[in-house]
Every structure is written in C-alpha cells, then in structure tokens.
Amino acid sequence: MTHSQSTTGSSRLAICGLFVLSALAALLAACGNPRKDPEPQPADGSITREPVAPKLTAKLAPRCKQGQIFRVDRTLKVREQTANDIVVLEGLESSLSEVVSADEQGRALVLKRKIEKSLTRLGSEGGRIDETKNPLHGCTLELRRDAQGTASATVIEGSADIGKQKFLIDGFDAALLPLGEIREGDRWSVPADELDKPGGLNAMIAAQGFKIEKNELQVRVSELTEKRATLELDWQIIGSFGQAPAVMAFSGSLDFDREKELISRLSLDGGRTGPGGKFTRQITISVTRKRE
C-alpha cells in the first residue's frame, strides 16, 4: 500500500466516523426531546380535552331591605379657563339614607334621606373661594317612588322650598346599569329617556348652562367577577352654550359591588374641548356609596 492510498483510506474512515457521530447525535437529540414524541391517545381513538368553564354572567341591579342605611358622597367640579383667570366651581353633597320600605325585587319604595352636607364653592384657582350652603343643607326628606321610577319628596326636618321637585331614590348612576344579564365584554347604549329623568345625568350638565340636543352614552363591561363588576363609560354630547355650538366628551368607570348589591363608585371626567384638544371647561363627577 502506498502512502497516498493510506492517506486516502484514513480520510474516508474519518469522514465515515464524523457521519456516524452526527447521525448518533441527531438521534440522541430526537430521543431526548419529549416535544417530538407523539402524545398518547386513548385506546378507542377518542380525544380527551380539559373542560372549559362557562363564561360568568350576572344581573346588575341595586337591591335593598327595610332598615338598611347607606351613605352617598357626590362631588361635581367644574374648572373653566377664562381670558384672565381659571374659575373653579364645586358642588359637594353627603347624605345618609334609611330604607323605610322595599318591594319584593329589592327596590326602595319609601326612603328617609338626611342631607348632611350640600355646599357650593366658587372662586379662582389658587385664590379666594366662597362657600355657600344650598337650600337642602341639613334637611331630611321623605322620598316616595312613583310609577315612573322617580320620587316625590316631603321635607320632614329642616326648612326648604322644594315645590314639586322630583328626586331619584336609586341615584342617577343606576340608569347606567342594563336590565338583563351581562357578560364580560358586553356593550350597550343607555336609553336617552333614562339620562333625561329629573335629577339624572343630563340635569347635571344642563345646570352648567349647556343645552343638550343629542347625546350617546356607551357602556362596556371591562371586568366581571363573583364579587364585582366594572363598567367603562364613554359619553358624547352635542349641544350649545348660549348661541355657540359645542361638543362635550366624558370617559369614566363604575364599580358594582355584587356582594352588597349596590353601585359603590362612579367617576366621570371630561368637558368641552377647544383648539389643540385642551379643555376649556373641564367637568369631573364622582360618587361613592357604602352601607353603614
């Protein structure tokens, strides 16, 4: 055997050895990777899957019982940029309500509501703020639900001229809740007549001198658990301030406590925007509610 033949033979052996080693390494890698192995199948050929939990549903409706007492704190804040100043208006109200009677659906029919605080604050941002007491400050009312879902009122403690003024026993935020069952991700529009009830959301905006011509309030269920439901709010209003056409926009959220069956929190923030998307009149509305 010549030297060249010996070298050629050695090269072939080396190449064969590398091929065998590569094939062995690939085989070992395949055997050692469980993702390459087929999943075991039942003997009868059927496929077993984990059960999927049904999507949670709920009906959101405030419910109460005779003798229950709950506290409500409401705040309305308006911040307006003028030519020379920033004017701030605040309305604050705290009330304590006792359910005198309720029907089988848990709706309060007669309610005794003490207006512990009802104040208006007006002034310049960072400057002087004047505070005045509203007519219902310190008064106690008896509210009786009528067939339209609003309530007539009688002053039983204190002194205030309320005339034939209508009130909402459940609060204006109850209009945001749907009538039927909901699931996470559901959306709906709040009927215009619900927003336009005496003491409702429209009344708060109209009190700022805004004439409402058209509005659309969209609600979406962003979270639903056994204990709570959270709703996201998107409100667009078309109308005018005096003779000037204007558009107002709000966004916010609402928490419904499913264990206590009440709206525990509402927040809305928005207002009228001017050039560049900046608020020329910013309005913030907040409500908190809890059982005593």
What three-state secondary structure class fits 222? strand
CA distance 139 to 142: 10
pLDDT at 24: 35
pLDDT at 127: 86
Render each residue's pLDDT in the chain as its tens digit; 292 residues: 444 444 444 444 343 443 333 433 333 333 344 334 455 555 554 555 555 556 899 999 999 999 999 999 999 999 988 888 899 999 999 999 999 999 999 999 999 999 999 999 999 988 889 999 999 999 999 999 988 888 999 999 999 999 888 899 998 899 999 988 999 999 999 998 888 888 888 988 888 888 999 999 999 999 999 999 999 999 999 999 888 888 999 999 999 999 999 999 999 999 987 666 666 889 999 999 999 8
Phi/psi class of residue 259: alpha, beta or left (left: φ > 0; alpha: ψ in -120 to 50)?
Answer: alpha
From the candidate CATH numbers 2.60.40, 2.40.30, 2.30.230, 1.10.246, the one assigned to the domain spanning 60-291: 2.30.230
CA distance 140 to 237: 34
CA distance 243 to 132: 30
Q: What is the DSSP letter of 43?
A: T
> Is 66 within 8 Å of 99 (Cβ atoms)?
yes
pLDDT at 36: 44
**Of 79, 126, 118, nearest in space to 285 by CA:** 79
pTM of the complete model: 0.77
**Within 13 A of 83's CA, how many CA atoms are on the CB side?**
0
Provide the residue ranges of all domains of the chain, joining segments of one domain with +.
60-291
Q: Rounded to an integer, what is the distance from CA 130 to the centroid of its chain?
A: 33
Q: Rounded to an integer, what is the distance from CA 23 to the centroid of its chain?
A: 62
**DSSP sequence for 119-133:** EEEEEETTS-EEEEE
pLDDT at 200: 87
Q: How far is CA 239 from CA 168, 194, 236, in A?
A: 25, 18, 10
Structure tokens given for 20: 């065998």
> Is 215 within 8 Å of 192 (Cβ atoms)?
yes
